[in-house]
Amino acid sequence: MPPRNFRIEFNDPWHFYDKSSKFTIACSVVGEYDAQMTKISKKQWLIAIAAGLAFTFFSAGFTAALLKSGFGSSEVAGWVQAIGATIGIGIAVWVPYQQRENAVRDEKVRSFHHALAVVDDLRGRVTGLQKTFAEGGRPLAFLTSNCAKFLQRYESLYDRELYTYLPGPIVNQITDMSGSFAGIETIVAATAARFENKPNHILPPRTLAPPPGAADPFEALFQKLDDLYTSLEGEAQAIAR
């Protein structure tokens, strides 16, 4: 499989050759590659290089002072103090930075887990609506109230805090479903009007029967929700690592 920093996202076939493992793959993808892992690697390299340069500088200065003036000289003591002060500053900068990074990562994980719970609930609700239309036997109020909650759940996926962390492809998946939700809302409204909006009217079996050859709107939406759940789950796992 391709390196972890390469997200398969282009429309045209793409051949990728990895020199380290000496293999070529062909894949079909849709969008952009994810450089998150690359950015992390660059950050770690910069920290390592800075630490290496600082170590080299202080080692050279300390060694030169030691050879020139001896261990008990004030020059050596000055270098020891400088090294200690630099280490202290590094720790004072690094610890809050790492705490902030961990806090952001934890918040991302919580946001994605919340989104997963919402999408899982939507999958259950779309299946429930489909079953209500197919089997009947429930009052009209059951259908309309469930549809209202169903739409509210979907709208919660547009939460601003969640959008802070969602990558573009997942945002597109969420917005692309709006037409499907609107379609189901229209179907439920038409069904309520058909039965004169009487909340206690018992729905007959096969209240909604798609024309032959037409796609089932509930099945189509369930598949989109299933794909969204898979995408969110993959992002949550990548963040948690």
Query: Are the CB atoms for 42 and 5 separated by under 8 Å?
Result: no
CA 115 vs. chain centroid, Å, equals 9
Its pTM surpasses 0.75: no
In the predicted model, what is the mean pLDDT of the chain? 76
Confidence of residue 66 (pLDDT cuts 50, 70, 90): low
Q: pLDDT at residue 97 above 80?
A: no
Per residue in 35-51, pLDDT tens? 444 444 466 666 667 66
Distance (Å, whole) CA 140 – CA 36:
49
Tokens representing 69 are 């003036």
Residue with tokens 């798609």: 210
Distance (Å, whole) CA 108 – CA 100:
12
**CATH 1.20.120 domain extents, the chain:** 35-240
Q: pLDDT at residue 21 above 50?
A: no
Per residue in 166-191, pLDDT tens? 888 999 999 999 999 999 999 999 99
Average pLDDT over residues 152-174: 88
Confidence of residue 123 (pLDDT cuts 50, 70, 90): very high
Q: Which CATH class is domain 35-240?
A: mainly alpha
Q: pLDDT at residue 33 above 60?
A: no
Who's near 194: CB < 8 A, 6+ residues apart?
none
Q: pLDDT at residue 224 above 50?
A: yes
**What percent of the chain lies above the pLDDT cut of 90?**
38
